[in-house]
């Protein structure tokens, strides 16, 4: 994790590094089950704390059916135990290119294709470790009304260098994680931090454009969206 710079208040033209406040997921090493109900890939983002994972069918063009898993995760208790069990910090719609609209799990159908967001247990934890743990936790899930499925981790699909978070998540969800990772940091401080804006939104200019649409009252009222 980068150590924030401690500098005096700066003008709008000066870049100042904001301080992170991350509750990390713990590192797990449990091996996944063999392939069956779908596949998973995990990848780095420019936000070093965040790894994105995607479940898909064999041809990569459709999302795997994981609604029962998502419903079970959302209905289970919040907190560290839940993160440890599922290895999920959040489930967000995948971004469909530059449209800032959710990607569809099946073309022509109204169902969203979701990204799994995990906060690294440590800066050294790899997308491969995270993806294998997700495959194991999803494969272990069963319910009376749902026949258990197994999932295979296919690999680390990170770009080089890693892409900004808004390549994978909607702007509103990027804001949510910005507020979560930099909990307690004011919007004004974030808008002076060109490096962080680029990590989340691709460039300082785009980051400032997005954040300018968030009122101070909204920024202070909620740390992240429900």
- Structural domain including 119 reads 38-163
Higher pLDDT, 128 or 23: 128
Higher pLDDT, 223 or 163: 163
pTM of the model: 0.79
> Considering 163, 178, 194, which residue would you say is the last residue of a domain?
163
The predicted pLDDT at position 37 comes to: 76
Query: Residues 158, 47: one domain?
Result: yes
* 5-12 contacts, C-beta under 8 A, 24 or more apart: 10/192, 12/191, 12/192
* 100-103 contacts, C-beta under 8 A, 24 or more apart: 100/170, 100/171, 101/170, 102/170
CA distances from residue 52 to 88, 132, 201, 209 in whole angstroms, order as listed: 10, 13, 15, 24
Query: Residues 119, 156: one domain?
Result: yes
Model confidence pLDDT, tens digit, residues 30-50: 444 445 679 999 999 999 999
Query: Residues 53, 128: one domain?
Result: yes
Count of domains observed in the chain = 2
18 within a domain of the structure (yes/no)? no
15 within a domain of the structure (yes/no)? no
Query: Residues 109, 159: one domain?
Result: yes
Highest mean pLDDT of the ranges 56-65, 107-116, 131-140, 187-196: 187-196
Lowest model confidence (mean pLDDT) among 75-84, 117-126, 143-152, 193-202: 75-84
Average pLDDT in the 189-212 region?
97
Q: Tokens standing for 88?
A: 């999920």
């Amino acid at each position: 994790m980068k150590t924030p710079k401690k500098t005096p208040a700066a003008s709008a033209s000066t870049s100042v590094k904001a301080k992170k406040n991350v509750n990390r997921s713990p590192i797990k090493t449990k091996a996944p089950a063999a392939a069956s109900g779908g596949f998973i890939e995990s990848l780095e983002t420019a936000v070093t704390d965040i790894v994105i994972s995607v479940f898909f069918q064999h041809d990569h063009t459709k999302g795997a059916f994981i609604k029962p898993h998502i419903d079970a995760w959302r209905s289970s208790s919040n907190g560290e135990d839940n993160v440890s069990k599922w290895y999920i910090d959040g489930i967000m719609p995948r971004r469909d290119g530059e449209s800032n609209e959710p990607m569809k799990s099946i073309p022509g159908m109204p169902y969203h294709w979701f990204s799994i967001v995990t906060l690294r247990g440590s800066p050294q934890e790899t997308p491969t470790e995270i993806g294998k743990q997700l495959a194991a936790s999803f494969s272990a899930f069963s319910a009376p009304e749902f026949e258990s499925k197994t999932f295979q981790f296919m690999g680390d699909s990170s770009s080089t260098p890693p892409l900004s978070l808004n390549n994978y998540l909607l702007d509103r969800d990027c804001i949510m994680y910005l507020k979560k990772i930099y909990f307690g940091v004011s919007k004004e401080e974030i808008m002076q931090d060109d490096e962080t804006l680029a990590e989340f939104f691709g460039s300082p200019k785009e980051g400032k454009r997005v954040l300018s649409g968030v009122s101070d009252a909204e920024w202070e009222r909620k740390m992240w969206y429900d």
